Amino acid sequence: MVIVMKLGSKDTEVNEVAKILESLGLGIHISQGAERTIIGVIGDKRVLSDVPLELMSGVEKLVPIVESYKLAGKTFRPEPSIVDVSGVKIGGKELVIIAGPCAVESREQILEAARAVKKSGAHILRGGAYKPRTSPYAFQGLEAEGLKLLLEAKEETGLPIITEVTSEKAVEIAEPYVDMFQVGARNVQNFQLLREIGRSGKPVLFKRGASTTIDEWLNAAEYIMNEGNYNVVLCERGIRTFETATRNTLDLSAVPVVKNMSHLPIIVDPSHAAGKSIYVGPLSKAAVAAGADGLIIEVHPNPKCALSDAAQQLTPDSFDILCKDIAKIAEILGREFKNAQ
């Protein structure tokens, strides 16, 4: 960190700041510029997280030099991490496809979806049991009943399952059923939930919030990792911007940026970003070409009858065609998608 002193700050003010830093065991480096004095701070800045240096007399601002997260960063682990979800490895050579309906709606629906996505090469089955919806008058999920149906689909197809958890209680209930938790965009800074998932140790798909910077996202991942759970897979799903033609603006730059700043795997959710099924294909291919480690795609046996987010779910047939295209792009990128036929 660098502390920038105000124009015309006095030596006594500079010394005051220096004294505090030294008392906390930090090294300092004072540099007298043409206009301003700056103080470089050396050492572990975590001791400063609750010290309001910016309020000290003569201080203009603090400029961070290195990122504030540790465990999620490349400094902590320079090599890419691979997260193992009941045998499926995310972050390795194989491109991983998570697919399934937005919400579990019925036994028949989830089984049919599971068979279809398995046939096309998907590695993990998704299905929402707890659905956070903008309006309280919309379908909110089958809850515990949905988890049982997911498990049945797993038993039949052998696909590991993932579901979204939206509260500490849901973590407790879902834990025995699922292979991977999902934290949705709205809960990216629900720190109690993140700690609970951290304690569980189970792999987690951690979606970016609609208005979360990459830096804040990695700091939030730190809440999970700080509890000892390093099985975090990031998921870009679109950010909120002024553009209204799509539900969100998919930020595919986040893929190479995260690869540059973190060792964690990153996959992409084109369905929620686009909000319309006709855009899912192009964005899926783009995500793979940008270097994503996988995709999470909504597939419904009969989208027209879906109880939530109907407009963005693919039919099994379109999903099958998409998987074939994706496999070819993956190959050009030096990756594999062996499951696809």
Tell me if 132 contacts a second copy by CB under 8 A. Answer: yes
Stretch near a second copy under the rule CB under 8 A, chosen from 79-87, 148-156, 173-181, 307-315: 307-315
Distance (Å, whole) CA 27 – CA 39: 10
Indicate the residue among 155 and 172 with the shorter CB distance to a second copy. Answer: 172
Q: Between residues 111 and 310, which has the closer beta carbon with respect to a second copy? A: 310
Pick from 12, 49, 79, 87 the residue near a second copy by CB under 8 A: 49
Angle at 73 between CA 219 and CA 284, to 5 degrees: 80
Among 22, 24, 63, 145, binds a second copy (CB under 8 A): 63
Contact 180, 124 (CB under 8 A): yes
**Phi, psi values for residue 18, rounded to 5°:** -60, -40
Q: 236-255: which residues touch a second copy (CB under 8 A)?
A: 239-246, 249-255
Nearer to a second copy, 98 or 130 (CB): 130
**Distance between CA atoms of residues 43 and 103, nearest Å:** 48
Q: Which is nearer to a second copy, 54 or 156 (CB)?
A: 54
Residues 186-205 that bind a second copy (CB under 8 A): 186-187, 189-193
Length of the chain: 341
| Interface mask toward a second copy for 312-331; x: CB under 8 A | -------------x--xx--
| Binder of a second copy out of 17, 21, 122, 287 (CB under 8 A) | 287
b/e code 264-292 from CB counts within 10 Å (16+ = b): bbbbbbbbbbbbebebbbebbbbbbebbb
- Residue (43 or 201) nearer to a second copy, CB: 43
The one-letter amino acid code at 184 reads G
* Distance between CA atoms of residues 243 and 207, nearest Å: 21
Is residue 264 within 8 A of residue 233, CB to CB? The reply is yes
Q: Which of 169, 172, 317, 341 binds a second copy (CB under 8 A)?
A: 169
